[in-house]
Amino acid sequence: MRIVLLGAPGSGKGTQAEKLVEHYRLTHISTGDLLRAEVAAGTTLGQEAKAIMDAGKLVSDEIVLGMIDAKLENDVGPEGFILDGFPRTLDQARGLDGLLEKLGEPLDAVIYLEVDEEEIVERLLARKREDDTEETIRKRIEVYRDQTEPLVRHYENEGLLKRVQGMGGIDDIFMRILEALQDARS
């Protein structure tokens, strides 16, 4: 099972990714975790990424795809993987498509957690993080929506997108995801 999990900040991606990892015994791939691991290990990629992040810039798609490529080639079990929070842009999606084509392992499904904007704002404000003001949260949602809409169309066109209602209880949402994935497998 090879899955991409899409959803706005606060949509529950992390929580659902953990449940999917446990249920299917998937390898969880988070670009944030990969970046931190590469930096901590002092690899060439990690050193490049650290220099870029220290300068306050975003790490390039090339570096992120390089890390994902290495992870996919070396650290994914036979059960497959779940990509959490990647791709974020259409260019990243195309890069990922190329990596997976090279490995002969196309995606099975892209789960898109749909959550009402007001619900997201409430969830993120409840987390009590210093940088999570209502204004910054709404800006993050707007940026996410601008970047993600082309991704949604891209994966819809490929027949991979599964829209899942991300509102309600954690277990209810998880059951909806499992139903969507059942459709993807048959």
Asked if residue 55 lies in contact with residue 116, where contact means CB atoms within 8 angstroms, the answer is no
The answer to whether 19 is a known catalytic residue is no
Beta strands across the sheet bearing 161-165: 27-30, 81-84, 2-7, 109-114, 161-165
Catalytic residue among 50, 138, 140, 163: 140
Instruction: Report pLDDT for 114.
Output: 94
Q: Taking residues 46-68, what's their average pLDDT? A: 85
Active-site residue, selected from the candidate residues 129, 139, 145, 153: 129
Question: How many of the other CB atoms lie within 10 Å of CB of 139?
Answer: 11
Question: pTM higher than 0.75 for the full model?
Answer: yes
pLDDT for the residue numbered 185: 63
In three-state secondary structure terms, 133 is coil
DSSP β-ladder status, 81-84 and 109-114? unpaired
The tokens for 78 are 């036979």
On whether the CB atoms of residues 64 and 70 are closer than 8 A, the answer is no
Among 2, 13, 162, 176, which one carries the catalytic annotation?
13
Place of tokens 């810039």: 57
Specify whether 139 is catalytic: no
Q: Is 13 among the residues known to form the active site? A: yes
Q: Which CATH number fits domain 2-30+80-185: 3.90.1150.10, 3.40.50.2000, 3.30.1330.10, 3.40.50.300?
A: 3.40.50.300
Q: Tell me, what's the pLDDT at 162?
A: 96
What 3-state class would DSSP assign to 109? Answer: strand
Q: What is the mean pLDDT of residues 105-121?
A: 93
